Amino acid sequence: MSNNILVINSGSSSIKFSLFDMSSEAERASGLAERLNTAEGEITIKSAEGKLNLKLEKSDYRSTLEVIINTLTEQGLMDTLPVAIGHRVVHGGEFFSDPVLVTADVIEKIKQCIPLAPLHNPAAVAGIEAMESLYPEIPQVTVFDTAFHQTLPPKAYLYGVPYELYEELGVRRYGMHGTSHQYVSSEAAKRLGLGEKHGILTAHLGNGCSCSAVVNGKCVDTTMGMTPLEGLLMGTRSGDVDPGLHQFLHDQKGWSIEEITNVLNKKSGLLGISGVSNDMRSVEAAAEEGNERAQLALDVFHFRLARQLGGLAACLPQLDALVFTGGIGENSRSTRALIINTMKILGIELDEELNKTNGNELGVISKGNGPKAIVVNTAEELMIARAAQALI
Ligand code: ADP
């Protein structure tokens, strides 16, 4: 019997998807539907059989999801409908600390979290509701980006603002990329034989970047906050700024709150400082060619990363491992080398040769008896598929 699980990540104008055969956990296909709700909607599907590109006649969520399922079937990538559908949901607020089966109550709670993730949660709801109306017989599971961070203690999640704002509106730190932090920390503990008692720092460095401190499998602090804007410098996001900046920019430039938020989310970070790109490869290449602003962007990126990791290390009873993941963490040798070589305080000794090859067969890039550094490729989609399988 088929054991396919489809994982869906619904964005405001796109849907990413992956199809897993859970008998072997092999990814049979993956793809992206883009420019949804416009006349230019299109789908790209990749599999062992090659790459397929389709124009969408109708590109609302429901029609798009139907085309995805029909095309996967027609292409022989699945012989029956999936046994479950797993949805990535960005914000679960304080409602969810684990994956759950979708019910009317779950959808209602995801909707209640819309003010906390106004761009992401409505898309997730649209994806779930469309799937439900198309295939009511297929169980659906939601996995939340915030869930792993629900173990943060109040001292780590509260902001220094009136407590009523937390009580009334849920103003607090939630953290994101939880599925990735959970997967790479547990994988590192397993590969390094750390046992149940461990202290791990995880650095998820992609277009969005965040770090976490994990003690005995539980997250105790993380760098993203109420929204994904807090913390590290990212591709286009500023990370931490002085909260007074908003008033200053409003006064000096006449920018509205929306304009300031847009600048901090879309025009800052590596892109904003370098003026070159939000993409680490391009910024590294430009710096290599002598572009000073690109070098400055790298310096700020690395300095802030080190500073945040240092802060998170203070949450650990001991440091056993530092884990790198995400496009930058998995591939940028210079980022890993810079962090490990400048943060002598962590006591990690870099193995230059292993770092060049992105680690040995386990991903390890350090040597000696001190804490280990390890590269673990993130597998958020597989984690969602596993969660779905566990719940059906
Ligand atoms: P997303 O957060 O969108 O999933 P990824 O995890 O794929 O993104 O990470 C994208 C980032 O990884 C980009 O900044 C990209 O430049 C960077 N990256 C990918 N490969 C390399 C590489 N070989 N060297 C440096 N950076 C890389």
| Measured distance CA(186)–CA(180) in Å, rounded | 10
Centroid of ligand 1 to alpha carbon of 327 (angstroms): 3
pLDDT at 91 over 70: yes
Which position has the token pair 């292409």? 75
Q: Which two structure tokens, joined as six digits, stand for 174? A: 């939630």
| pLDDT at site 282 | 97
- For residue 378, the ligand 1 atom closest to its alpha carbon is 6
- The pairs formed by 226-232 with CB atoms below 8 angstroms and a separation of 24 or more are 226/116, 226/159, 226/171, 226/172, 226/173, 226/174, 227/116, 227/117, 228/90, 228/176, 229/264, 229/265, 230/173, 231/308, 232/205, 232/301, 232/304, 232/305, 232/308
Residue 270 CA: nearest ligand 1 atom is 14
Mutate to test the pocket of ligand 1, among 34, 176, 207, 375 (most ligand atoms within 8 A of CB): 207
Q: Select from 233, 279, 282, 356 the residue to mutate for testing ligand 1; criterion: most ligand atoms less than 8 Å from CB.
A: 279
Q: What is the layout of strands, in order, in the sheet containing 321-325?
A: 218-222, 209-215, 199-205, 321-325, 372-375
Cα(328) to ligand 1 centroid in Å equals: 5
Candidates 21, 79, 98, 145; catalytic one: 145
Å from CA of 279 to ligand 1 middle: 7
| Residue 307 labelled as part of a binding site | no
pLDDT exceeds cutoff 80 at 155: yes
Alpha carbons 264 and 235: distance in angstroms, whole number: 11
Average pLDDT over residues 105-129: 95
Q: pLDDT tens digits for 298-340?
A: 999 999 999 999 999 999 999 999 999 999 999 999 999 999 9
Percentage above 90 pLDDT, the chain: 97
What pLDDT does residue 85 have? 98
* pLDDT at residue number 179: 97
Any residues with Cβ below 6 Å from ligand 1, and which?
Answer: 206-208, 235, 279-281, 284, 326-328, 331-332
For the domain with range 194-375, which CATH number is right: 3.40.50.2000, 3.30.200.20, 3.40.50.620, 3.30.420.40? 3.30.420.40
Q: What is the mean pLDDT of the chain?
A: 96
Confidence of residue 1 (pLDDT cuts 50, 70, 90): low
Whole-model pTM?
Answer: 0.95
Which DSSP symbol is given to 229?
A: T
**Active-site residue flag, 145:** yes
Quick check: 251 pLDDT over 70? Answer: yes
**What is the whole-number distance in angstroms between the Cα of residue 278 and the centre of ligand 1?**
10
Residue 376: band (very low, low, confident or very high) from pLDDT cuts 50, 70, 90: very high
Residue extent(s) of CATH 3.30.420.40 domains in the chain = 4-144, 194-375
Tell how far the Cα of 218 is from the centroid of ligand 1, in angstroms.
27
205 is in an annotated binding site: yes
Of all protein residues, the one whose alpha carbon is nearest to atom 22 of ligand 1 is 331
DSSP string, 301-368: HHHHHHHHHHHHHTT-SS--EEEEEHHHHHH-HHHHHHHHHH-GGG--EE-HHHHHTTSSTT-B-EES
Nearest CA residue ID for atom 12, ligand 1: 327
Question: 3-class SS at 162?
Answer: coil
88 is in an annotated binding site: yes
CATH class of 4-144: alpha beta
Torsion of CA 71, 74, 79, 84, to 10 degrees: 10
CA-to-CA dists, residue 89 to 111, 132, 254, 263, angstroms = 11, 16, 35, 25
Question: Is 327 labelled a binding residue?
Answer: yes
Q: Kindly state the helix (H) or strand (E) to which residue 64 belongs, with its residue range.
A: helix 61-74
Reported confidence tier of residue 12, pLDDT bands at 50, 70, 90: confident
